[in-house]
Amino acid sequence: MKMKVEFKLNGANVSVFAEPNRRLIDLLREEFELTGTKEGCGVGECGACTVLMNGRAVNSCLVLAVQAAGNEITTIEGIANGDLINPLQKNFLEFGAVQCGFCTPGMVLSASALLDKNPDPTEDEIKEAVAGNLCRCTGYKQIIEAVKETARLSRKN
């Protein structure tokens, strides 16, 4: 039996029917064609499927679609608020924080959840915020630098 799920997705109100066992990641990728949300493990270990739920980073492979009801979901497609890219994404590019790019959407979302809560994070806090996002390509250094720089610039403004 399908259930009606209404929630806010990237700023717009949406309403869909979903089976009770359907995962949020599948709903996003298949129903809404938001394929920026990636699946790397399906068990909550890699963070490639990270989305924001009411501003908090969650693994969408561990969230049921029906749990989105009444909540606000932001995916990588909605993170720049209508712009092409936001300052964090820009710094990901400037600092070389992207290689294959498969982890990148999840990384960006975890990092922006951190920066929203904590505009002046220490290096350790940044490392902790992205510790649930595995990256096999970059060794994380340039990602951490990109987040640091974003925080620094936003404090300056």
Partner 1 sequence: MSEEFSVVGKKIIREDGVEKVTGRAKFADDYKFPGMLHAVMVRINEAHAKINEIDFSALENEPAVSIVSASDVHGSKKVGMIKNDQPVFCSEKVVTPGDVVAMLVGESESKLRSLLPEIKIDYTPLPVLTDPEKSLNKNSVLIHPETGSNLIVHHPLRKGDVEKGFEESDEILEQTYKTQLIEHAYIEPEAVVAIPLGFSEGIKIIGSIQNPFTARKFVANVLNYPLAKVRVQQAHLGGSFGGKDDTMCILSARAAVAAIKTNRPVKIKYTREESVLESYKRHPYILKYKVGYNLNGKIKAMKIDILADGGAYASMSPFVTWRSVVQASGPYEIENVQTDVRAVYTNNPYTGAMRGFGSPQPIFAQESLMDEIASRLGISPDEIRRINGFKNGSVTATGQILKDHDVNLKKVLDVACGNTDFITKWKSNRDQKIFSLKYDPSNPILKDNQFIDPPENIRKGIGLAVSFRGCSLGAEGIDAASAYLSVQNDGSIYLDCGLAENGQGLRTTYSIIAAEVLGVSAEKIIYLELDTGITPESGPTVASRATLMGGSAVKNAAEILRDRLINLIKEEFKLGGEDVISFRDDLVFSRKKGLITKFTDLCKLAASRGINLSAIGWYKSPKVDWNEENGQGDAYFTYVYGCQIAEVSVNVSTGEVYIDKVTAVHDPGKVINKLGAEGQVYGGVTQGAGYGIFEEVTADNGFIRELNFDTYTIPTSMDIGEIKPVFVEGKENYGPWGAKSLGEPTLELTAAAIANAVSNAVGRRFYSLPLNLEEIILNKKLRPAGTKRGSSL
Which residues lie near partner 1 (CB under 8 A)?
A: 29, 34-43, 45-46, 48, 75-77, 80, 84-85, 89, 92-96, 98-105, 108, 126-128, 130-144
Burial class of residue 44 in the structure, from the number of CB atoms within 10 Å of its CB (0-12 exposed, 13-18 middle, 19+ buried): middle
Task: Choose from ligand FES, partner 1, none: what does 49 bind? Cβ within 5-8 Å by kind.
Answer: ligand FES
Nearest to 150 by CA among 87, 94, 104, 81: 87
Site residues (vs ligand FES, CB under 6 A): 39-42, 44-49, 59, 61, 98-104, 135-138
State the binding partner of 67 from ligand FES, partner 1, none, CB within 5 to 8 A by kind.
Answer: none
Strands 50-53 and 72-74, sheet pairing:
antiparallel
Cβ of residue 2: shortest distance to ligand FES, in angstroms? 23
Name which of ligand FES, partner 1, none residue 61 binds, using a CB cut-off of 5 to 8 Å depending on partner kind. ligand FES
Q: Which two tokens stand for residue 53?
A: 């739920």
Instruction: For the CB of residue 45, give the shortest distance to ligand FES in the complex, in Å.
Output: 5
Measured at the CA of 136, the angle between CA 154 and CA 82, to 5 degrees, comes to 40
Nearest distance from residue 150's CB to partner 1, in Å? 12
CA–CA distance, 149 with 12 (Å, rounded to integer): 30
